[in-house]
Amino acid sequence: GAVVSQHPSRVICKSGTSVKIECRSLDFQATTMFWYRQFPKQSLMLMATSNEGSKATYEQGVEKDKFLINHASLTLSTLTVTSAHPEDSSFYICSAGASGAVSSYNEQFFGPGTRLTVL
Amino acid sequence: AQRVTQPEKLLSVFKGAPVELKCNYSYSGSPELFWYVQYSRQRLQLLLRHISRESIKGFTADLNKGETSFHLKKPFAQEEDSAMYYCALRGGNQGGKLIFGQGTELSVKP
């Protein structure tokens, strides 16, 4: 089946530092990847849509200079939280859109998430 | 505006009781509707989608365009059904992005 991994699974950093989170589609190519933020027992908030080889499309209210997204290949997208602050502490989840032989209806497969804690 | 509303934050039932998790949506066109489930400490996974009209783990959901609803139902809840359930909408020409509801925590007690 289609598997999406995220690394790291959890990270603790000091305020002011930058943190990079990787999202990989392990057994399929994903033209489009999505980044979400989830608060405890709350909904997933879409942050941005990442397309391979082009700039990400950010949702309203998401600071593109703070949350840098790079989708350099069909199997890897990265989210960098720059100059992190305690309010950025959250659970970040990525998903990858599968098409063709993997999914006839462009199903999104989700990663396990990354728990970011900013001290 | 596109919106998905799940009015119940928590739904608690006893094992064997019927379950209905409500979902209402707002969308100007013809959306695709999905139900996702997130078990404790596991990743989000697709439960079912309206197009396939299938039953997964005993759950069904019917799209009611008149009431703009996509409620999730199961006639007899099991303890292993305890999880967070999210209703999601996908519109056309939007790059495939999903709009999620707030989620409903289903707790099935023995």
Q: Which residues on chain B are in Cβ contact (under 8 Å) with A106?
A: 96
Confidence of residue A43 (pLDDT cuts 50, 70, 90): confident
B48 → chain A, closest CA residue: A107
Q: Which residues on chain A are in Cβ contact (under 8 Å) with B43?
A: 93, 110-113
Dist. CA B100–CA B22, nearest whole Å: 13
Q: What is the pLDDT of residue B93?
A: 66
Dist. CA A99–CA A108, nearest whole Å: 9
Q: What is the pLDDT of residue B72?
A: 96
Q: What is the pLDDT of residues A96-111, one digit of tens each?
A: 987 766 666 678 899 9
Whether residue B12 has pLDDT greater than 90: yes
Three-class DSSP category at B10: strand
Whether residue A1 has pLDDT greater than 80: no
Q: What is the DSSP string of B88-99?
A: EEE-TTSTT-EE
**Is there a cis peptide before residue A8, judged by omega within 30 degrees of 0?**
yes
Token pair recorded at residue B63: 């799209």
Q: What is the pLDDT of residues A31-41, one digit of tens each?
A: 889 999 998 77
Q: Considering only the beta carbons, identify the residue of A45, A93, A97 that sits closest to B44.
A: A93
Mean pLDDT of chain B: 92
Interface test with B, best of A36, A41, A51 (most B CBs within 10 A): A41
Say yes or no for a CB contact (<8 Å) between A42 and B103: yes
The mean pLDDT of A73-83, rounded to a whole number, is: 94
Q: What is the pLDDT of residue A101?
A: 63
Confidence of residue A53 (pLDDT cuts 50, 70, 90): confident
Q: What is the pLDDT of residues B25-48, one digit of tens each?
A: 999 888 899 999 999 989 999 999
Confidence of residue B76 (pLDDT cuts 50, 70, 90): very high
The mean pLDDT of B79-106, rounded to a whole number, is: 90
Q: What is the pLDDT of residue A103?
A: 65
Q: Are B44 and B34 in contact (CB under 8 A)?
A: no
